[in-house]
Amino acid sequence: MFTDGRGRTTAVPGTPRRVAAYLRTAAALADLGVQPIAAYGSAHDGPAPDPAKSGALDWNRTAYLGAGEQLDERALAALSPDLLVGVTYDGKTPYGLPSGSAERLTTDLPSVMLHVGGDRSLPDLLDDTARLAAALGSPEAGADRGRSRLTAAEDALRRASSGRPGARLLALSGADAERAYVAHPDAWPELRHLRGLGLRMVEPPWDGGTSWATQPWTGVTRLSPDVVLVDVRGNARPLAEVRTLLPPGAVAVPWNPEWPPSPDGAARLLTELSRVL
């Protein structure tokens, strides 16, 4: 029995062994020792899985069933999944699934949606995924090792940030040659966590958006970042191109805004930031 981010309780006989999941949650479960049989993307994804979102997924063991409107529901049914796992940003709506597919799939299958909205803390996200992975038979030893790696990464980043107390950190997604979407730190659990570890997060001017502020690249330069977390998902402007648009001296660090909510998923970002700082 598991109560998810929608407040719904799912109970199934035995332990589900054939899990189909949204890419982000599929990668998190794989980090924790649960290999889904299938994964799907959102409307922002393409006909092949996005490497930035795929984490440690073994595509020899996990079938990719498409994204958004292109999700192959027949192929999913043929795999006989016994649980559908996804995410919700508003505590109600399954993300990445068209409304018709979401209604059909969550009616036909037991489902769990993890709440990953901006009001959640990073520990909240990790606790939810850990509870789900444990319910799916994840070995506790593997989870303990992941938590130890995350703790070590947090300690390393605290030390690194204390050595550069004035360093300005900004997160963005490249839109095109003229504009970038700059993240509001308070809207992102991982960015708030970075602030809690001692990093100075840059807040863009508010333009009415909840998660992002649209800025010209000259506006990014005026924010004077020293380190820039750059969205490397397949739908964002390529990292190599974004580097040419950043202010002189700013260091680009790959960032996946849909990072797998697992200890290893969080530790990867923290470790890379420690290296740069």
**Where do the structural domains in the chain lie, given as residue ranges?**
2-140, 158-276
Top-confidence residue, 183 or 68: 183
Q: What is the secondary structure of 244-257 as a DSSP string?
A: TTSPTTPEEEEE-T
Q: Looking at residue 90, what is its pLDDT? A: 95
Three-state secondary structure call for residue 182: strand
CA distance readout (Å), 252 to 52, 240, 255, 273 = 16, 9, 9, 10
* Mean pLDDT to the nearest integer, 234-259: 97
| Predicted TM-score (pTM) of this structure | 0.94
Q: What is the secondary structure of 254-267 as a DSSP string?
A: EE-TT--SSHHHHH
148-152 — which CB contacts under 8 Å span 24+ positions?
149/263, 149/264, 149/267, 150/126, 150/263, 150/264, 150/266, 150/267, 150/270, 152/267
Is 158-276 a CATH 2.60.120.10 domain? no
Name the average pLDDT for the chain. Answer: 95
Give the tens place of pLDDT for each residue, 2-13: 999 999 999 888
Tell me which residue of 209, 235, 190 sits closest to 96, measured CA to CA.
Answer: 235
- What tokens does 7 get? 């407040």
pLDDT at 164 over 90: no
* Mean pLDDT to the nearest integer, 190-219: 95
* Mean pLDDT to the nearest integer, 154-168: 92
* Mean pLDDT to the nearest integer, 40-44: 94
Band (163; pLDDT cuts 50, 70, 90): confident
- What tokens does 241 get? 């191109």
- What tokens does 104 get? 């059909």
Q: Looking at residue 141, what is its pLDDT? A: 63
Write down the CATH number for the domain with range 2-140.
3.40.50.1980
